[in-house]
Amino acid sequence: MRTCFASAAPSNAGKEVLAQGLHAASKRPGRFVAINCAAIPENLLESELFGYEKGAFTGAGKTTQGKIETAHNGTLMLDEIGDLPHSLQAKLLRFLQQRTIERIGGRIEIPVDVRVVGATHQDLKNLIAEGRFREDLYYRLAEIVIDIPPLRARAGDPVMLAQAMLRRFAQEQRRTGLGFSEDALRAIEKHNWPGNVRELLNAVKRATIMADADRITCADLGLPLPEPGGDGAQVSDLDLRTVRESAERQAIVAALARSNGNILKAAEILGVSRPTLYDLMRRLAIK
């Protein structure tokens, strides 16, 4: 059994997409099973997770597997695990340690081999300090911790995800010739995406359905036209020579400023020889 934890990830940041990617990359033969711990009432969550035997309670007409057992040999995602009731945290911890479960009303321990991925938008360290989340459960889950930043903080991801979404929706709508205009791509890069991946998904899906032409525009996405010279990355901004020269210029100017114009000290700061620094300054026209 392996556990992974997506820590303090904002809502709709793509936690489930990441978990599905981990499952696909693992080549585990079992299923990917996800459950939202905040969306199910506390009195039902235990039976959803662990299952129940026939006659265990009123309405239990047949033996039913829970999500944990269903994910055997696969991946179980516990979304919003910070909302897991305290009464269930001890039972989940026992499962993670013993690798067995007991259905409600059952007496037989059932071995389960599953990768567990927990995710939450909350700060579990604060919940632990407040006594709302078990510290031992946190450290049992956190074998690998992945902090997922909001979409706006992941340079390149909005366009990459938008392109993948467009391919998917275009195939569903049988519009395989669809693509984004250059302005649309720059608008996707520039937009703040407060709704994260969900907002992007809805914008691309809507545009795929509503666009009249084969090129999806800013208007189709519901985004403003990017201003010339704005924050959106121009194609020329992605030229590696331009990017490298800009970075070198900034570093050399900063080193010269820090050394008060002393070439020898500036070269030491930059980790190059003095002749190399002179050559760089000459090439970049730095006097």
Q: pLDDT tens, 203-245?
A: 999 999 988 888 999 999 999 887 765 554 555 566 788 788 8
Beta carbons within 8 Å of 153's beta carbon, 6+ residues apart: none
pLDDT at 2 over 60: no
Same domain membership, residue 173 and residue 123: no
- Phi then psi for residue 87, to 5 deg, are -65, -25
Q: Are 93 and 140 in contact (CB under 8 A)?
A: yes
Domain that holds residue 272: 239-283
Q: What is the pLDDT of residue 197?
A: 86
pLDDT at 7 over 70: no
Q: What is the pLDDT of residue 55?
A: 87
The mean pLDDT value of the chain amounts to: 86
In a domain, 140, yes or no: yes
Q: What is the pLDDT of residue 6?
A: 55
What is the three-class DSSP state of 204?
Answer: helix
Interior/surface letters 208-246, b for 16+ CB within 10 angstroms, e for the rest: beebeeeebbbbbbebeebeeeeebbeeeeeeeeeeeee
Same domain membership, residue 121 and residue 53: yes
Same domain membership, residue 20 and residue 64: yes
Same domain membership, residue 130 and residue 254: no
Q: What is the pLDDT of residue 43?
A: 84
pLDDT at 8 over 60: no
pLDDT (average), residues 30-55? 91
Q: What is the pLDDT of residue 61?
A: 86
d(CA 184, CA 41): 42
Same domain membership, residue 186 and residue 122: no
Domains held by the chain: number: 3
pLDDT at 164 over 90: no
Same domain membership, residue 245 and residue 119: no
pLDDT at 9 over 90: no
Same domain membership, residue 107 and residue 25: yes
Looking at residue 247, which CATH number applies to its domain?
1.10.10
Same domain membership, residue 136 and residue 165: no
Same domain membership, residue 195 and residue 67: no
What is the three-class DSSP state of 155?
Answer: coil
Give, for 278, the enclosing helix (H) or strand (E): helix 274-283
Q: What is the pLDDT of residue 229?
A: 53
Q: What percent of the chain has pLDDT over 90?
A: 41
pLDDT (average), residues 243-257? 85
Q: What is the pLDDT of residue 102?
A: 92
Q: Are 137 and 3 in contact (CB under 8 A)?
A: no
DSSP assigned state of 73:
T
Q: Are 66 and 49 in contact (CB under 8 A)?
A: yes
Helices 263-270 & 274-283 angle (0-180, nearest 10): 90
**What sections of 71-225 are H helices per DSSP?**
86-98, 124-129, 135-141, 157-172, 182-190, 196-210, 218-221
Closest CA to 36 of 64, 60, 15: 15
Higher pLDDT, 227 or 92: 92
Q: What is the pLDDT of residue 5?
A: 54
